[in-house]
Amino acid sequence: MSSFSRSRMAAPFLSVVLLTLLLIAWQLAVRDSAPTAGLDPEYAKLMGVAATTGKSAIPTPIDVGRKLMAAVADPFYDKGPNDKGVGTQLAFSLARVLLGFGLAAIVAIPMGFLIGMSPLAGATLNPFIQVLKPVSPLAWMPLALYTIKDSAQSAIFVIFICSVWPMLVNTAFGVAGVRREWLNVARTLEVGAWRRAVHVILPAAAPTIFTGMRISIGIAWLVIVAAEMLVGGTGIGYFVWNQWNNLSLADILMGILLIGLVGMALDRLLALAASGVTWRE
């Protein structure tokens, strides 16, 4: 067996071993301690288990697993506007992310082309991009709520404004980095600006653009959870907030796990799309 295929087999195996060790350590770390003695039973009835039995407030992996099983068994229940299944909540979050991300792509990619193809435009817009890029989504939210006057649109705006920058910067970088010789060949053949952009620059810059999109979708997914915790209503962020409100850490951990899994899936999807446009020399 070559060393390459051995490491391919070894990595997943080691991942599973690491996960098992972590779960065992977690389970042992949060075992129940001895019950508090001498508590008036009448009083104890009014208190939670954390106060009466000294049970750790952190749930065990088994608690989280049970919550996950229950959630997966009935992911789309609807018990009113404030209590819906995790499947429904994830769908709401995904819809917001795709809308905000889609709008960002529509703006960022053409803008990135412009900036990449024109050094003057790049230099002019660069200070704006550098100032706006590091602003946190939560800082945008009050402004968005105040000006847009609609919380659903504000959430989408915040995703848009946070996910637009990596795509813009990467597109510009990719476009500006297209090999001189290729552009010179196009010029020699007297190719028009539009054909040059679509047939020469776009394929050449595509891998860099997709890298920007991968960064952006990751940011969009980060942002949506924060935005939904703030504006509430629906979405996986609202779900986590609602369980925080009830101090139900098992539900919160389950929420974190789901957020992570969906985030990974989004990233894999774009990586797959990116591999379709990658070229080798």
Contact flag: residue 68 with other proteins (CB under 8 A): no
Contact flag: residue 242 with other proteins (CB under 8 A): yes
Contact residues for 273 (Cβ-Cβ < 8 A; gap 6+)? 210
Q: Using the rule CB under 8 A, give the single segment among 95-103, 117-125, 211-219, 223-231 that binds other proteins.
A: 223-231
**CB 210, min distance to other proteins, A:** 35
Task: Rank residues 118 and 248 by Cβ distance to other proteins and give the closer one.
Answer: 248
Residue 21: Cβ within 10 Å count: 10
Q: Using the rule CB under 8 A, give the single segment among 12-20, 175-183, 231-239, 264-272 that binds other proteins.
A: 231-239
Q: Using the rule CB under 8 A, give the single segment among 163-171, 194-202, 240-248, 254-262 that binds other proteins.
A: 240-248
Q: Using the rule CB under 8 A, give the single segment among 118-126, 214-222, 225-233, 263-271 that binds other proteins.
A: 225-233
* CA distance linking residue 281 with residue 272, whole number of Å: 20
Tell me the C-alpha to C-alpha distance, in Å, between residue 109 and each of 125, 153, 210.
15, 22, 10
Q: Using the rule CB under 8 A, give the single segment among 18-26, 200-208, 215-223, 242-250 that binds other proteins.
A: 242-250
Task: Rank residues 154 and 171 by Cβ distance to other proteins and give the closer one.
Answer: 154
Grouping H, G, I as helix, E, B as strand and the rest as coil, residue 7 is helix
Which 149-178 residues touch other proteins, going by CB under 8 A? 149-151
* CA distance linking residue 6 with residue 74, whole number of Å: 40
* Exposure b/e, 96-124, CB count within 10 A at least 16 = b: bbebbbebbbeebbebbbbbbbeeeebee
* Exposure b/e, 203-241, CB count within 10 A at least 16 = b: ebbbebbbbbbbbbbbbbbbbbbbbbbbbeebbbbbbbb
Task: Rank residues 49 and 269 by Cβ distance to other proteins and give the closer one.
Answer: 49
* CA distance linking residue 239 with residue 83, whole number of Å: 8
Contact flag: residue 93 with other proteins (CB under 8 A): no
Contact flag: residue 229 with other proteins (CB under 8 A): yes
Q: Using CB under 8 A, pick the residue from 62, 77, 195, 268 that binds other proteins.
A: 77
Question: Could you tell me the sign of the dihedral formed by the alpha carbons of 3, 6, 12, 13, in that order?
Answer: negative
**CB 85, min distance to other proteins, A:** 10
Task: Rank residues 38 and 127 by Cβ distance to other proteins and give the closer one.
Answer: 38
Contact flag: residue 47 with other proteins (CB under 8 A): yes
Contact flag: residue 230 with other proteins (CB under 8 A): yes
**Which H/E stretch holds residue 150?**
none
Chain residues binding other proteins by CB under 8 A are: 39-40, 42-43, 45-48, 50-52, 57, 76-83, 142, 145-146, 149-151, 229-233, 238, 241-247
